[in-house]
Amino acid sequence: MPLDISQLVLDMQAAATSVLKADVTTFRGFSDRQLKAIAQQAELVRLGITTGQITDETREFFLDGLEDMALSFARTLRGLLIATVEKVWNALVGVLWKAISTATGLILPIPTLGADR
The predicted-structure confidence for 77-111, as pLDDT tens digits, reads as follows 999 999 999 999 999 999 999 999 999 999 999 99
Q: How far apart are CA 73 and CA 66, in angstroms?
A: 11
In tens, the pLDDT along 20-61 reads: 888 888 888 889 999 999 999 999 999 999 999 999 999 999
Angle at which helices 56-104 and 5-51 cross, to 10°: 170
Distance of CA 93 to the CA centre of its chain: 19
Domain segments of the chain: what residues? 5-103
Q: What is the DSSP letter of 106?
A: -
Of the candidates 88, 96, 78, 73, the residue with the CA atom closest to the CA atom of residue 4: 96
